[in-house]
């Protein structure tokens, strides 16, 4: 059966229409499927998360994830990486509790963001082509190449992700001593030492400051803040990790230029260890304080000081033994008295007198030290036959005798090396002399009942010179060649 041209034409038109329809449907479905996530409008919850994240972090795309860099400083946090459903802080995977602890109020927002799919994270946080974000798909857009993501700055030293600490403390501050942070210890705040050194083998999440001391970092040291060393040296093991900056402030003495090319260094050994200068200043400051207190005792109770001086000079061994026994038994007796008064109902009101007993002990120490200084000076005066001293001059001479070796040792020790060894021996000898003065003086103060009883020093008035002239001037002279019987 032959088909007419009209029927054949109608069939061709129908086939062509069906083909074009199927092609249009396929073309419409393909971009819808490929951009389904990007075309979906942003919900109110997503907008809230987006505003919170963009207000606190800068968002950088990386492969299979995003990186959040804090816009303002967060202690111990440089970046937060969200990749494949995990959260990593500074490159180390963190749990939900760690995220809340490290990020504070931003932790909940980061956790909520991590629950979203990667496509949704990029859709609400990363810019579209044209520099802006869009919540609805554009009517027509040409395919463009995705922008190359910027590189995330790498850390110079990787930090240990799985390190655990058995001890965790807050700030560590010490004046006049050293600080040691062990391997199993983490300090969440600053570590500060004044007049001492700092040794770190664990982790410090804040700054490290040493004034008048050194800072040493062991192989497992992990410091997240800055390190500042004033008047000391900084020693770092190659395996130590430092996140912040290192600031060193040293002291030096400029040379004296005699002529061009001739520079004279008067004290080159001062630069060997500047922390020794602080020890010298500390000793001088301590001595100045005790000198002031001794002067007050000499002005307010001169008779008591004189009685203690006589006891120290006339009974040195008895005073030394009494002072030593008082030092050995004061604390045990004080504890025993407190316990006895506490267990007895009648003695409980007497506990208020315990602070006064402690104060009396320190008064006896200072009074005895003042009398011992005067006694030392008086013995030297009698031994060397020097001119008579009294009052404040006698006290100053005695204090110089007691503290002279200590000050000399501190000055000699500034040189370091062999001079430091010699200075240490001098300082040790000076401390022995000073301890002897404190002990003997305490015994003298107790033997005289705080200077109330005892003999006072006897002052011998000077003997007037003998004249060789005749006693009377009105006797007439004897004439020569005269008989004495006739006179």
**Is pLDDT at 141 greater than 70 in this prediction?**
no
Question: Do 361 and 399 reside in the same domain of the chain?
Answer: yes
> CA angle at residue 51 from 45 to 56, to 5 degrees?
130
Residue environment code for 233-259, b if the CB has 16+ CB neighbours within 10 A, otherwise e: bbebeeebbbbeeeeeeeeeeeeeeee
Strands 92-93 and 86-89, by their bridges, are antiparallel
Question: Do 379 and 433 reside in the same domain of the chain?
Answer: yes
Please identify which residue in the block is written with the tokens 């199993």: 184
Question: Do 352 and 410 reside in the same domain of the chain?
Answer: yes
DSSP letters spanning 196-212: S-EEESSEESS-EEEES
CA-based torsion, 100, 103, 108, 111: positive or negative: negative
Average of pLDDT values for 465-484? 57
Question: Is residue 239 domain-resident?
Answer: yes
Question: Is residue 429 domain-resident?
Answer: yes
**Is pLDDT at 112 greater than 60 in this prediction?**
yes
Number of domain units in the chain: 3
Residue 76 CA to chain centroid, in angstroms?
Answer: 20
**Is pLDDT at 231 greater than 90 in this prediction?**
no
Question: Domain end: 105, 125, 145, which one?
Answer: 125
- pTM check: above 0.85: no
Question: Do 421 and 283 reside in the same domain of the chain?
Answer: yes
Question: Do 76 and 172 reside in the same domain of the chain?
Answer: no
Question: Is residue 61 domain-resident?
Answer: yes
- Per the structure, the complete domain to which residue 208 belongs is given by 167-249
Question: Do 238 and 294 reside in the same domain of the chain?
Answer: no
**What is the model's pLDDT at position 204?**
92
Region of poorest pLDDT, from 101-115, 259-273, 383-397: 259-273
Question: Do 102 and 243 reside in the same domain of the chain?
Answer: no
Question: Do 281 and 245 reside in the same domain of the chain?
Answer: no
Asked whether 228 and 249 are in contact (CB, 8 A), the reply is yes
**Is pLDDT at 307 greater than 70 in this prediction?**
yes
Asked whether 311 and 448 are in contact (CB, 8 A), the reply is yes
102: tokens are 């490290």
Question: Is residue 143 domain-resident?
Answer: no
Question: Is residue 404 domain-resident?
Answer: yes
Question: Is residue 472 domain-resident?
Answer: no
Question: Is residue 362 domain-resident?
Answer: yes
Q: With the CA atoms of 196, 199, 203 and 209 taken in that order, what torsion angle do they form, in degrees rounded to the nearest 10?
A: 30
Q: Which residue has the higher pLDDT, 361 or 231?
A: 361
**Is pLDDT at 167 greater than 80 in this prediction?**
yes
Q: Which residue has the higher pLDDT, 203 or 138?
A: 203
Region of poorest pLDDT, from 121-125, 436-440, 472-476: 472-476
**What is the model's pLDDT at position 438?**
93
Average of pLDDT values for 447-468? 68
List pLDDT tens digits, range 30-39.
Answer: 444 444 544 5
Residues 337, 327: Cα–Cα separation, whole Å: 16
Question: Do 383 and 245 reside in the same domain of the chain?
Answer: no
Q: Which residue has the higher pLDDT, 269 or 207?
A: 207
**pLDDT band (50, 70, 90) for residue 434:** very high
Question: Do 240 and 297 reside in the same domain of the chain?
Answer: no
Nearest to 109 by CA among 57, 186, 63, 43: 57
Asked whether 52 and 109 are in contact (CB, 8 A), the reply is yes
Question: Do 290 and 235 reside in the same domain of the chain?
Answer: no
Question: Is residue 297 domain-resident?
Answer: yes
Question: Do 240 and 120 reside in the same domain of the chain?
Answer: no
List pLDDT tens digits, range 274-291.
Answer: 567 777 888 889 999 999
């Amino acid at each position: 059966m032959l088909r007419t041209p009209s029927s054949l034409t109608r069939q061709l038109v129908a086939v062509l229409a069906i083909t074009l329809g199927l092609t249009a449907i396929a073309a419409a479905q393909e971009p819808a499927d490929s951009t389904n996530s990007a075309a979906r409008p942003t919900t109110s919850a997503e907008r809230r998360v987006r505003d919170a994240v963009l207000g606190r972090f800068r968002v950088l795309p990386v492969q299979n994830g995003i990186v959040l860099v804090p816009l303002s400083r967060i202690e111990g946090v440089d970046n937060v990486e969200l990749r494949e459903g995990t959260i990593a802080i500074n490159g180390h995977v963190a749990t939900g509790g760690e995220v809340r602890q490290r990020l504070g109020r931003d932790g909940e927002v980061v956790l909520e963001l991590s629950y979203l799919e990667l496509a949704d994270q990029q859709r609400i946080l990363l810019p579209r082509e044209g520099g802006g974000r869009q919540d609805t798909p554009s009517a027509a857009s040409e395919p463009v190449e995705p922008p190359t993501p910027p590189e995330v700055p790498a850390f110079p030293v990787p930090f240990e992700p799985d390190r655990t600490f058995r001890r965790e403390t807050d700030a560590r501050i010490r004046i006049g001593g050293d600080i040691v942070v062990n391997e199993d210890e983490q300090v969440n705040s600053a570590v500060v030492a004044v007049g001492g050194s700092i040794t770190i083998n664990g982790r410090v999440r804040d700054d490290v400051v040493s004034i008048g001391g050194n800072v040493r970092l062991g192989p497992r040291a992990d410091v997240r803040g800055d390190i500042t060393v004033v008047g000391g040296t900084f020693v770092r093991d190659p395996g130590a990790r430092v996140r912040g900056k290192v600031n060193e402030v040293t002291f030096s003495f400029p040379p004296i230029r005699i002529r061009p090319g001739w520079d004279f260094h008067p004290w080159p050994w001062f630069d060997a260890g500047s922390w020794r200068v602080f020890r010298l200043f500390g000793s001088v400051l301590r001595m100045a304080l005790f000198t002031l207190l001794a002067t007050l005792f000499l002005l307010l109770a001169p008779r008591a000081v004189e009685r203690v001086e006589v006891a120290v000079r006339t009974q040195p061994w008895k005073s030394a033994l009494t002072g030593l026994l008082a030092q050995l038994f004061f604390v045990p007796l004080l504890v025993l008295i407190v316990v006895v008064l506490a267990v007895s109902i009648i003695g409980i009101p007497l506990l208020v007198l315990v602070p006064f007993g402690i104060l009396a002990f320190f008064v006896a120490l200072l009074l005895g030290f003042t009398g011992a200084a005067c006694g030392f000076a008086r013995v030297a005066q009698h031994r060397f036959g020097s001119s008579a001293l009294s009052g404040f001059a006698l006290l100053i001479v005695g204090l110089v005798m007691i503290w002279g070796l200590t000050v000399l040792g501190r000055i000699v020790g500034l040189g370091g090396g062999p001079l430091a060894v010699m200075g240490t021996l001098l300082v040790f000898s000076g401390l022995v002399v000073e301890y002897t003065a404190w002990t003997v003086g305490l015994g003298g103060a107790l033997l005289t009942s705080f200077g109330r009883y005892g003999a006072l020093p006897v002052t011998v008035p000077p003997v007037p010179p003998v004249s060789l002239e005749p006693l009377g001037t009105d006797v007439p002279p004897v004439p020569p060649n005269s008989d004495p019987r006739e006179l």
